Amino acid sequence: MTNAAFATTIKHPGLFQGMTWQGPVESIAFDEAGMQACLSQLDLPCYVVRQGVQTGMTTTGSLVPVQSADAGGLEMIAAANAMPTDQFGDPDFMRMYGVQYAYMVGSMANGISSADLVVAIGKAGCLGSFGSAGLSPARIEEAIQKIQAALPNGPYAFNVIHNPNEPNLERKAVELFLQNGVHVVEASAFLSLTPNIVQYRAAGLSVSPAGEIQIGNRILAKVSRKEVATKFMEPAPQKILAQLVEEGRITQQQAILAEKVPVADDITVEADSGGHTDNRPLVALIPSMIGLRDEIQQKFHFLQPVRIGAAGGIATPESTLAAFMMGAAYVLTGSINQGCVEAGSSAHTKSILAQAAMTDVTMAPSADMFEMGVKVQVLKARTLFPMRASKLFELYNRYDSLEAIPVEEREKLEKQIFQRTCETVWEDTVKFFKERDPEQIVRANANPKRKMALVFRWYLGLSSRWSNSGEPGREMDYQIWCGPSMGAFNDWTKGTYLEDVNNRRVADIAFQLLNGAAYHYRVQSLQTQGVQIPLGIARYRPTAPLI
């Protein structure tokens, strides 16, 4: 490169006025590869110095006052501080969860965020959350045993998802976590507080010998609405606590202590993500939630203020850095992880995720909140699921029972979507809920529209399982939760070793994002001082695995 114009727009020349750089001249890099190497040594400061008409970078030497410098000192132009990746985020987050990095892998239902994934990211010094939503208690308990055996001291978390149509499942999950010593949960899809999530929080409260409140059960609540976030940022309502005491699910002392601490330790602000989402922009949502937290903290004066993390759209070094610079205590990734080797999704699903563009996503009816009209963000490329799921919701709104659907419409439904008769689907549904939640069948038998909803939910529920298991012949019905971040990740990794889905490992991706964020932090630091970074090295690219 022609180097003479490398640093000619220094905005604050007085910043290093009176200082000079001294060190081995041979350590100065004047070529792009050498300068990139300097920027990549994150644990060392990066100095920009001028030698004659050339400007270069180095990570060695030191700054000394001009009056005490040797004759061989060089002009100091700018400097970027060392930026180790464990500098990002809130130290209290890392201390509380026993992690080295302020990075979390969020839960993805039906075991997509598998036990193997949670263990892999946990061993790498980050927090992972098992995707327990949609799984049977036996399957969740199996995961608990596997993860606890591999990570006896953590870090790990398990998901508790709110399901208004099947509240017993939420309660069973909480009971299972309390019985098995799971002390960190990720609460998601909550529309309001429920007795179950409040029980989990309160049941872990005690008083230390010094008289301080000890919090034994930690909650990270994933939310996108301020009204829901407020409930998790404040103490649990007395009404719910009184109910839990009356039912014998917590003690009176635990209820009293619960009135003095927030329901959640951390709020993960969920922006435009895969699955349940309000499609809100992170740059608008994060400042709003931080402001809300500050207002609530001024009101209650908690010993430990609630931390605010960021999720939704985080898939590149730039978006990772942006979240931290907006004040996020930690970042959480989701969509990009289900394409990893350790994820519980099928090889076919991982393959098409690796081909997804940012525009290849859409909203479709959710299985768990179908009757309420709640939608989730899914992949629309190479699958007909979004269109077929929307058709089911259209029929549900139009008719009051399966029998009311016109014969021609019903035949299309059975042939194109179910690939079996409605009667057969209902038989399978009865078998499923007899084990999972028998009360659902009782309610459906008394309400034809409710029965129709369960039949339609048969397809919505199985479609995600087909995606995970790789069900042959059902590829066009795969329900794949996905946000636009998947496309951004694919754009960033194109032409690198991470373009190959077989090379995508969850811990390596985490380190690449964090290293890239630190690299960009240093680039931006130099640019704000007026240094013109060559385009060839201004952007971080993953060149080789970091684990």
For 243-279, how does the pLDDT look when each residue is reduced to its tens digit (9 = 90+)?
A: 999 999 999 999 999 999 999 999 999 999 999 999 9
pTM for the model: 0.94
> Where does 106-240 show beta strands of DSSP type E?
127-130, 157-161, 184-188, 205-207, 213-215, 218-223
The answer to whether 272 and 481 have CB atoms below 8 angstroms apart is no
Strand 205-207 to strand 184-188: parallel, antiparallel, or no bridges (unpaired)? unpaired
Q: What is the location of CATH 3.20.20.70 in the chain?
A: 87-345
Beta bridge partners of 46: 80
Look over the chain and give the mean of its residue pLDDT values, rounded to a whole number: 94
Report whether 308 contacts 286 (CB < 8 A).
yes
CA distance 303 to 292: 17
Statement: residue 397 has pLDDT above 50: yes
Lowest mean pLDDT among 162-176, 355-369, 390-404, 468-482: 162-176
Kindly write down the DSSP assignment for every residue of 259-282, as one continuous string. TTS-S-SEEEEE-S-SEE-----H
Contact 154, 175 (CB under 8 A): no
Decide if 193 contacts 231 (C-beta within 8 A): yes
Q: Taking 60 as the threshold, does the pLDDT of residue 5 lie above it?
A: no
Q: Is 146 exposed, middle or buried (0-12, 13-18, 19+ CB in 10 A)?
A: middle
| CATH 3.90.1010.10 for domain 87-345 | no
Query: What is the tens place of the pLDDT at every residue in 449-472?
Result: 999 999 999 999 999 999 999 999
pLDDT of residue 164: 84
The pLDDT assigned to 3 comes to 54
> What average pLDDT score do residues 417-431 get?
97
Buried b / exposed e across 278-294, counting CB within 10 Å, b at 16+? eebebeebbeebbebbe
Instruction: Provide the terminal-to-terminal Cα distance of the chain, rounded to the nearest Å.
Output: 32
Give every CB contact of residue 166 below 8 A, 6+ residues apart in sequence: 368, 436, 437, 440
Cα 22 to Cα 20: distance, rounded to the nearest angstrom: 7
Q: Residue 2: its pLDDT value, please? A: 46
Residue 66 has pLDDT above 90, yes or no: no
Q: What is the pLDDT of residue 368?
A: 87
Could you read off the pLDDT of 127-169 as tens digits, one per residue?
999 999 989 899 999 999 999 999 999 999 999 999 887 888 8
Contact call for residues 112 and 349 (beta carbons, < 8 A): no
Across 213-224, average pLDDT: 97
pLDDT digits (tens, 9 = 90+) for 364-375: 999 989 999 999
Question: Residue 7 pLDDT more than 60?
Answer: no
